Amino acid sequence: MTNKLGVAILLLLAAAACNRSGTPSSSPASPPAPAATREASRSSAPLPQLDFSALAEKEGPAVVNISTVRKMRGEAALPPLPGIPEDDPFFDFFRRFAPPVPRDYRTQSLGSGFLISRDGVILTNAHVVDEATEVTVKLTDRREFKAKVIGVDARSDVAVLKIDAKDLPAVAIGDPAHTRVGEWVVAIGSPFGFENSVTAGIISAKGRQLPDETYVPFLQTDVPINPGNSGGPLFNLRGEVIGINSQIYSRTGGYMGLSFAIPIDVAMNVADQLRQTGKVTRGRLGVRIQDVNTDLARSFGLERPEGALIAAVEPRSPAAQAGLQTGDVILGFDGKPIKSATDLPAIVASTAPGRTVTIDLWRESARRSVEVRIAEAPTEPRSWRH
CATH architecture under which domain 172-277 falls: Beta Barrel (2.40)
CATH of region 283-376? 2.30.42.10
- Is 195 within 8 Å of 142 (Cβ atoms)? no
Distance CA 305, CA 303 (A): 7
Residue 265: active-site member: no
Amino acid present at 30: S
What is the pLDDT of the chain when averaged over all its residues?
84
Catalytic residue, from 112, 156, 197, 230: name it.
230
The number of helix segments (H) and strand segments (E) in the chain equals 9, 23
Q: How confident is the model at residue 33 (pLDDT cuts 50, 70, 90)?
A: low
Whole-number pLDDT of residue 90 = 55
Q: Where in the chain is the domain with CATH 2.40.10.10?
A: 57-73+92-162, 172-277
Q: What would you measure as the largest C-alpha separation in the chain, in angstroms? A: 131
Distance CA 163, CA 148 (A): 6
Catalytic residue, from 109, 127, 334, 340: name it.
127
Residue 230: active-site member: yes
Whole-number pLDDT of residue 276 = 93
More reliable by pLDDT, 54 or 105: 54
Q: Where in the chain is the domain with CATH 2.30.42.10?
A: 283-376
Q: How confident is the model at residue 110 (pLDDT cuts 50, 70, 90)?
A: confident
Catalytic residue, from 153, 156, 157, 343: name it.
157
Q: How confident is the model at residue 339 (pLDDT cuts 50, 70, 90)?
A: very high
Whole-number pLDDT of residue 84 = 56
Q: What is the pLDDT of residues 311-332, one digit of tens each?
A: 999 999 999 999 999 999 999 9
More reliable by pLDDT, 346 or 231: 231
More reliable by pLDDT, 11 or 309: 309
Considering only 114-128, 148-162, 257-271, 366-380, which range has the smallest mean pLDDT?
366-380
Range 150-182 burial, b when 16+ CB lie within 10 A, else e: bbbbbbbbbbbbbbeeeebbbbeebebeebeee
* Residue among 149, 64, 68 at smallest CA distance from 108: 68
Query: Among 3.40.50.261, 2.40.10.10, 3.20.20.150, 3.30.70.60, what is the CATH number of 57-73+92-162?
Result: 2.40.10.10
Residue 157: active-site member: yes
Whole-number pLDDT of residue 287 = 96
Report the share of the chain in percent with pLDDT over 90. 64
